[in-house]
Amino acid sequence: MILRGNEDLRVVKTIEGIKEAFESLICEKEYGKITVKELCDKARINKKTFYHYYETLDALLSEMQMELSAGFLERIKGLRLPEDLDKVNREFFLYSADQGLSYEKITCSVTYQAIRDDMIAKVNDAGWQDSKQYQKLSDFEKSLLMDFINNSTLSAYRVWIESGKAMPLEEVIEINNRIQLGGVKEFFRR
């Protein structure tokens, strides 16, 4: 249940407790091994309360994905693609660095591939929809471009996480942009 700000304080605390417990479990184990009972125990609620707000764990995960996507889209509002791709990439890394361990797991773990793909699709659709250059591309070219951008950015993020964040984030952003923007600028230069 996405909170709108006018809910009773008990509802707010219950939803926040469910989400905090869920994020904690995501950090502890793979998604397929998380159970509603375990989540309810951790959130100190009964199953009936959980099911009052969410039909399934998938619904909770989907809501979390929507909130994460919306947060990132808010940060890149007003940026134009492909012209501002370097700024969009910067915001991705800065936003991601602020999200915590559960976001890292969702972004890096194979277990969350489907939810990650949904997040990426939402962001791509919103970010590229106004680009005249992009709209002129064939479906094949669009797909290839998006795969290149998404895979290179996610790869750089994963390597940074797996290295224990050994390199300063600003250096990771600069390297990613140097590699990626060279290819994208050349692609659109035809």
Neighbours of 126 (CB within 10 A): 15
Residue 4 has pLDDT above 80, yes or no: no
The pLDDT > 70 percentage for the chain reads: 96
Domains in the chain with CATH codes: 9-54 (1.10.10), 78-188 (no CATH)
| Lowest-pLDDT range of 93-102, 117-126, 129-138 | 117-126
Residue of higher predicted confidence among 35 and 119: 35
Cα–Cα distance measured from residue 190 to residue 186, given in angstroms and rounded to the nearest whole number:
7
